[in-house]
Structure 1
Amino acid sequence: DTGSLTASELAQRLQVSPASISKAITFLEGLALVRRERDERRRERYVVDDDLWYQSMIRSARANDQFIETARQGIGILGHGTPAATRLENAARFLDFVSEGLIRAAEQGREVLYTRTETTPDGTATPRSDHA
């Protein structure tokens, strides 16, 4: 519930071995879906917050930028109009389009993440923006 637990707390709550936690944390850190922090007792805590998903999507979209640039350089090397250059141009255009869409969706999704639901006295849920 706090968005932050130690490896020991994770192992206990998930009923798995500390080695499983270590392996999972390493994997999730590689994807930047969890981050390490030290608490006041100098213990490592693993943190997940709403912004990590946004940042992960932005990194994913930006990871395509290098391929797009390399593909466009390859077009000149292979010669405009050749079948290989055409494939590279199509791949670059496709990834550019998908990346732009992913960034737009991440921006819109971020607003969803920061819209909290409040329960009214009659038990119904209503959205509330934290950015208002």
Structure 2
Amino acid sequence: MPGSRLTRRDRRAIATGLADGLGYAEIARRLARPTSTISREITRNGGRTGYEPATAHRATKRRVRHRKHETESAAGPRRHGPDTLTAVEQLLADTLIGTGLSRTPARVLAALYTADDATMSAAQLGRHLQISSASVSKAVGYLEEQEVIRRERIPHRRAERYVVDTEAWFQAVLASAQRNQQLADAARRGADLLGRATPAGARLHALSRFHQQLTNDMTERVRHWRHALTEPTPQSPSTRP
């Protein structure tokens, strides 16, 4: 209704209207909203070519939380806010860089992980990280090759967005476990051929046992965390009798 905040459905309708080439006034008429509301919504959230409804909705929620904090700041300390989110994103990026990931892919991955729905378009990543479209393209290309992120179409738009998928990390760990298994098998065959009583055979046998245990541990960890991430928590209504 006029005067109330825009809903997710309203924002999707705005995106559809923009994709269809409608003017602000026509979009406003269809939503029974003032034209100034539609114009302000689009301008503050990427403009006609960069507007994305999910991102706009998240940005509005952040602004509402920020205003609420300013109103209630005298009542007690703040648990977290935009500065904290930025610090967490930077911490994650620095840690990824420390593991050997290049700076820009690390920043892109950290930004995706700390986004509410773990997804952003190339334009959003560029604006958020203040880097060129070429840098975004190179970074996401590398991350796609590593199967850490995937791309998907934005509904009603010609643009694409990038999604960080937990399953991709599981697959990466399982691929590493498979390589360890291959090494364990090769070392075991070598030990059997040389004889485990020989120095070389004993060494290969120990290597085989180490990598076999490592493989078992990695596989068990993946199974455990998959279960933990898919099962409802004890507090979930679905677990109640």
Partner of 2:118: 3
Please report how far the alpha carbon of residue 101 of structure 1 lies from its aligned counterpart in structure 2 after TM superposition: 1.0
Please report how far the alpha carbon of residue 88 of structure 1 lies from its aligned counterpart in structure 2 after TM superposition: 1.9
1:26 has 2:141 as partner = yes
> Which segments of 5 or more consecutive residues in structure 2 lack a partner in the other structure?
1-115
Please report how far the alpha carbon of residue 13 of structure 1 lies from its aligned counterpart in structure 2 after TM superposition: 1.5
Q: Which amino acid aligns with 1:90?
A: A
Larger Rg computed on CA atoms:
2
1:128 has 2:231 as partner = no
Compare the two structures and name the one with the higher helix fraction: 2
Partner of 2:211: 95
Contact 1:71 1:92 in 2 (8 A): yes
Partner of 1:82: 198
Task: Please list the CA deviations of residues 39-77 of structure 1 after superposition, one character each: whole Å capped at 9, or x if unmatched.
Answer: 444434221123223222222212212222222232244
1:111 has 2:234 as partner = no
Partner of 1:50: 166
1:64 has 2:180 as partner = yes
Please report the RMSD computed on the Cα atoms of aligned residues, expressed in angstroms: 3.0
Please report how far the alpha carbon of residue 130 of structure 1 lies from its aligned counterpart in structure 2 after TM superposition: 7.8
SS at match of 2:152: strand
In structure 2, the CA distance between the partners of 1:89 and 1:27, relative to structure 1 (3 Å rule), is farther
Moved more, 59-68 or 99-108: 59-68
Partner of 1:13: 128
Contact 1:114 1:130 in 2 (8 A): no
**Aligned pairs, number:** 124
Contact 2:180 2:214 in 1 (8 A): no
Please report how far the alpha carbon of residue 34 of structure 1 lies from its aligned counterpart in structure 2 after TM superposition: 1.0
Q: Which amino acid aligns with 1:104?
A: E
Partner of 2:87: none
Please report how far the alpha carbon of residue 5 of structure 1 lies from its aligned counterpart in structure 2 after TM superposition: 2.1
Task: Please list the CA deviations of residues 70-90 of structure 1 after superposition, one character each: whole Å capped at 9, or x if unmatched.
Answer: 222322444433322222221
SS at match of 1:37: strand
Q: Which amino acid aligns with 1:128?
A: S
SS at match of 1:81: coil
TM-score normalised by length of structure 2? 0.43
SS at match of 2:227: helix
Please report how far the alpha carbon of residue 97 of structure 1 lies from its aligned counterpart in structure 2 after TM superposition: 0.5
Q: Which amino acid aligns with 2:203?
A: R
> Which segments of 5 or more consecutive residues in structure 1 lack a partner in the other structure?
118-125
Distance 1:60 1:107 in 2: 15
Q: Which amino acid aligns with 2:236?
A: R
In structure 2, the CA distance between the partners of 1:45 and 1:85, relative to structure 1 (3 Å rule), is farther
